Structure 1
């Protein structure tokens, strides 16, 4: 099975439901069989994963975009090793999404991608467990999932734009004028979950960043958007990973996901980073499952080996 990453379903409603009701945010490990058929595995709280990582890093194929809700994933025809990120050279060249970041600067894009980019978009400020905050964009059809998959702890929507061109102009202006970054690396997100800041502190950081951004946007002589004040609703399954009600010590997952045998129980998930339990250990371990993207795995009754030296950390 080839791992394509971690994805989240959209909740049935944007608002957090009443107590005791599921919020609908359902993460899954995205997999493709050698035939290209999807074989996704839910990452449910309390679920156990056991797998072996095989050698190599492989191309994930490319995407063709036909409209706002229509896209086609094309498996790599050569099942080639990855060369650029998680793609081989030919698949990278065929991928429609590689063109989207230059669209607002006048870059040419295919008709399907143009249709996708010309739908309404949202500008957001996302804050992660260590306090790092980034500005980003999300299409209307992926408004909630985008932030769930980013692994945000707190986030605010600050503008609603009529299309993807305008929203990317706004994104660049926020970076240029306020210094707000557009990227927080996955490794940094995972590391911050080892000792997450208090939820109330992260909320305050995000609200300050969002307020500064709205002030900037309100002064712009640019049409095609309106400022908004709306909080993103974090999925309940992410709460423990984000430190909301877990005060126990945490440690880095003891093995890299570039090979070997792995087996653990999922306790919580924030983006693609899991808080997991290992047999015989009371502490939680922070595992960046995003590192499995582009790896081939086989499932079985495998277990993660915890080195003896790990005991000195407890």
Structure 2
């Protein structure tokens, strides 16, 4: 179904930069980008629309940089972040199969020419994945995914080589390449692990994957270096991890879509917001992935909050 844009302000999710003190909520109104800093202790009112809309598609420039093009038909969608037409036009779709097919636009090939890293990332409920990231997004990729603990285990000279290693680790070590956002949220509020246990799990799986790769002959001939490098958790995520480890974190039980929320922001882990609603109120976790693709209006809030009631009471 197509809709008139009519000044709609669509949320493209939370973005991260190693050089910024706080992540930003990325909103787009037409050709204008709005970056709202998600700073700790910021008091916010967030109004969220009900419908989901296509976020458009990505094209690649010759230097490997990207352009995000708005959906030309402003289509409403039921799932995902793109309509079928924009999915077909999106040039990043070639990235995941380039190491098998060799097919990609020139700009994407340029992007894949830079060194890439292989990592092992663990989330609060113990789910652990293998993944890849380029040099330019080495740190931010893991921040965006909401990893609790992660380690880089290999470096390759290009994106095709690193994805071959990724597939090998999935096939022979049994590590998935995806962890669902909903399960990440559930893990942070179900307390199946504590931090020390999760760190041990991640360390053991990283060692297992690295051990498998070290048994493969000729990796050095392809410029592949094995490494044992811990990813540094950002400061703004640490309150979320601490609340999970202390078992004081609860789910935001009210609906996010088609609602207006008022809260004080305490921390950000991936696409999750740690919030409370004033002194002596509970620490709650909002799934900010629910904001993505929806019309979102955000403003600073003043005055007293009324705490959102848990479904348990």
The TM-score with structure 1 as length reference comes to 0.88
Matching residue within 6, 10, 23 for 2:18: 10
Q: Once the 2 structures are TM-superposed, how far is the Cα of residue 194 of structure 1 from its aligned partner?
A: 1.3
CA-to-aligned-CA distance 1:270-308 (integer Å, 9 cap, x gap):
11111110257621111110111100022355977724x
The two structures, once aligned, show a CA RMSD in angstroms of: 2.1
Q: State whether structure 2 residue 30 is matched by structure 1 residue 28.
A: no
Q: Which moved more, 1:214-223 or 1:62-71?
A: 62-71
- In 1, Cα distance between equivalents of 2:115 and 2:272: 29
**Alignment equivalent of 2:216, drawn from 194, 216, 220:** 220
More displaced stretch, 138-147 vs 296-305 = 296-305
Counterpart position of 2:292: 293
Deviation at 1:77, TM superposition (A): 1.7
**Paired residue secondary structure (1:239):** helix
Gaps of 5+ in 2: 1-8
Q: Bigger CA drift: 138-147 or 66-75?
A: 66-75
Name the structure 2 match of 1:164. Answer: 159
Supply the distance in 2 between the matched residues of 1:276 and 1:104 (Cα, whole angstroms).
41
Q: Is the 8 A contact 1:119 1:139 kept in 2?
A: yes
Per-residue CA deviations over 1:14-38 (Å, capped at 9, x if unaligned) read xxxxxxxxxx4521111001x2210
Shift of 1:49: 2.1
Secondary structure at 2:241 match in 1: coil
Q: Is the 8 A contact 1:59 1:83 kept in 2?
A: no
For this pair of structures, how many residues does the alignment match? 298
Cα distance 1:222–1:188, how it changes in 2: closer, same or farther (>3 A)?
farther
Query: Relative to structure 2, which stretch is displaced further, 109-118 or 198-207?
Result: 198-207
Measured in 2, the distance between the counterparts of 1:163 and 1:176 equals 21
Alpha-carbon separation, structure 2, partners of 1:199 and 1:304: 32
2:64–2:108 contact (8 Å) kept in structure 1: no
* Structure 1 position 56, deviation (Å): 0.9
Question: Aligned ranges for residues 71-82 of structure 1 at < 5 Å?
Answer: 71-82=66-77
**Pair 1:246–1:163, CA change in 2 (3 A):** closer
Equivalents in 2 of 1:110, 1:217: separation in Å? 30
Would you say 1:204 and 2:200 are equivalent positions? Answer: yes
Q: 3-state SS of the aligned residue for 1:204?
A: helix
Q: CA deviation at 1:311?
A: 6.4
Find the counterpart in structure 1 of residue 277 from structure 2: 278
Q: Return the TM-score normalized by structure 2.
A: 0.89
Indicate if the aligned counterparts of 2:23 and 2:38 stay in contact, CA closer than 8 A.
Answer: yes
**Cα distance in structure 2, aligned partners of 1:255 and 1:288:** 11
In the TM superposition, residue 156 of structure 1 has moved relative to its aligned partner by 0.4
Give the structure 2 partner of residue 103 of structure 1: 98
Give the secondary-structure state (helix, strand or coil) at the position aligned to 1:241: helix
Distance 1:216 1:246, change over 3 A: closer
Identify the match of residue 64 of structure 1 among 52, 59, 65. 59
Q: Which runs of 5+ in 1 are unaligned?
A: 12-23
- Correspondence for 2:6: none
Which residue of 150, 159, 163 corresponds with 2:145?
A: 150
